[in-house]
């Protein structure tokens, strides 16, 4: 399923956030969106998921204008993991993941309970939370909770999945775990992934395409072509070195702030 965004412009409270941007999301790719705080990354993600409709331009999902599609139709093809999500206190992992089946149910039919159970169990196994399925989500550690939320998105059986800063508040081992899970979702299950990342090194290591959102405009291309010392000065006002690590991956090391 193809997701296309054409000439998107947004203003919030009279302030222009971005104008006329056409970010490309190749089918099956893992795209990272990076940029300074307040650049509009979360706004863009919400527009792509039809959670924000206050924009100019067009978004097409499978060739159809997303404004004309129902929430459930969209949710059968596209899932979004927002940065924060309120989870009712007594929600178990299994219950949370089952919420991901909402696009397949309606008032008149309970959907297909057997399929719902199979898919929910599949999603829980992908994130390796089998032993936690009856635990309350709010009693889990940050890493486990994030995996539970990812399972809920997987239960929608989307072809496209959007993440907003999925590693925030996690320690390095749990950051790695989440990034590897995202890569698995992309490579094994062939989902198109679009993820806002605050850690530029994650973009270098895990994305096959990078979109830099800054000053209302975008730069896009292969991570190695986009993420360089010049861009870091220009966009983030930071002087940085880029090294190659023992695995041959490019790694960024910030040195000093040049300007804010
Ligand atoms: P990012 O995710 O890149 O940090 P956001 O998309 O959250 O940026 O926000 C982009 C800009 O829009 C920011 O300046 C933010 O303050 C502003 N903004 C976002 N949502 C609202 C809102 N509901 N009301 C007013 N301003 C908002
Ligand atoms: Mg944000």
DSSP string, 1-39: --EEEEEEEEEETTEEEEEEE--EE-TT-EEEEE-STTS
Q: Which has the closest alpha carbon to 85: 155, 17, 156, 163?
A: 163
Q: How confident is the model at residue 107 (pLDDT cuts 50, 70, 90)?
A: confident
Asked if residue 243 is part of any domain, the answer here is no
Instruction: For residue 240, give Cα distances in angstroms to 37, 133, 222, 229, 243.
Output: 18, 43, 19, 6, 10
> For residue 108, is pLDDT > 80?
no
- Of the spans 95-109, 118-132, 238-252, which averages the highest pLDDT? 118-132
State residue 238's pLDDT score. 97
> For residue 260, is pLDDT > 90?
no
149 near 95, Cβ under 8 Å?
A: no
Closest atom of ligand 1 to CA, residue 36: 3
Average pLDDT, the chain: 96
Average pLDDT of span 18-41: 97
Asked if residue 239 is part of any domain, the answer here is no
> For residue 32, is pLDDT > 90?
yes
> For residue 124, is pLDDT > 90?
yes
For a pLDDT cut of 70, what percent of the chain falls above it? 100
Asked if residue 159 is part of any domain, the answer here is yes
Q: Which of these ranges, 16-30, 105-119, 142-156, has the smallest mean pLDDT?
A: 105-119
List, for residues 230-259, the tens digit of each pLDDT value. 999 999 999 999 999 998 889 999 999 998
Asked if residue 162 is part of any domain, the answer here is yes
Question: Six-digit token pair at 114?
Answer: 């057997």
Average pLDDT of span 5-17: 96
Q: Which CATH number does the domain housing residue 185 bear? A: 3.40.50.300
Instruction: Quote the domain boundaries for residue 11.
Output: 3-222
Paired with 7 in beta bridges are none
Ligand closest to the CA atom of residue 54: 1
State residue 223's pLDDT score. 95
State residue 79's pLDDT score. 98
Asked if residue 202 is part of any domain, the answer here is yes
Cα separation, 83 vs 70, in Å, equals 23
Cα separation, 155 vs 147, in Å, equals 12
Ligand 1 and 248: CB distance under 6 A? no
Paired with 28 in beta bridges are none
- Residue 41 CA to ligand 2 centre (angstroms): 5
List, for residues 42-58, the tens digit of each pLDDT value. 999 999 999 999 999 99
Asked if residue 241 is part of any domain, the answer here is no
- Residue 70 CA to ligand 1 centre (angstroms): 25
Asked if residue 258 is part of any domain, the answer here is no
Q: What are phi and psi of 13, to 5 degrees?
A: 50, 45
Q: Which has the closest alpha carbon to 150: 169, 132, 141, 163?
A: 163
Ligand 1 and 84: CB distance under 6 A? no
Ion ligand 2 contact residues with beta carbon within 5 A: 41-42
How many structural domains comprise the chain? 1
Asked if residue 229 is part of any domain, the answer here is no
């Amino acid at each position: 399923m193809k997701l296309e965004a054409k000439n998107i412009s947004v203003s919030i409270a009279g302030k222009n956030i971005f104008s006329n941007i056409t970010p490309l999301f190749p089918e099956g790719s893992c795209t990272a969106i990076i940029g300074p705080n307040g650049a509009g990354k979360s706004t863009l993600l919400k527009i792509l998921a039809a959670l924000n409709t206050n924009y100019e331009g067009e978004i097409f999902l499978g060739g159809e204008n997303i404004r004309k599609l129902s929430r459930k139709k969209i949710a059968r093809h596209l899932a979004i993991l927002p940065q924060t999500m309120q989870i009712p206190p007594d929600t178990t992992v299994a219950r949370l993941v089952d919420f991901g089946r909402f696009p397949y149910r309606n008032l008149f039919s309970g959907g297909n309970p057997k399929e719902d159970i199979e898919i929910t169990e599949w999603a829980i196994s992908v994130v390796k939370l089998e032993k936690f399925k009856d635990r309350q989500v709010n009693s889990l550690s940050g890493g486990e909770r994030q995996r539970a939320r990812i399972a809920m998105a997987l239960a929608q059986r989307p072809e496209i999945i959007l993440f907003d800063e999925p590693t925030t508040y996690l320690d390095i081992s749990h950051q790695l775990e989440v990034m590897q899970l995202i890569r698995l979702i992309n490579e094994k299950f062939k989902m198109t992934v679009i993820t806002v990342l605050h850690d530029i090194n994650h973009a270098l290591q895990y994305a096959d395409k990078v979109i830099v959102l800054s000053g209302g405009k975008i730069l896009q291309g292969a991570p190695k072509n986009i993420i360089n010392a010049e861009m870091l000065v220009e966009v983030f006002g930071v002087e940085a070195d880029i090294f190659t690590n023992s695995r041959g991956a490019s790694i960024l090391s910030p040195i000093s702030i040049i300007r804010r």
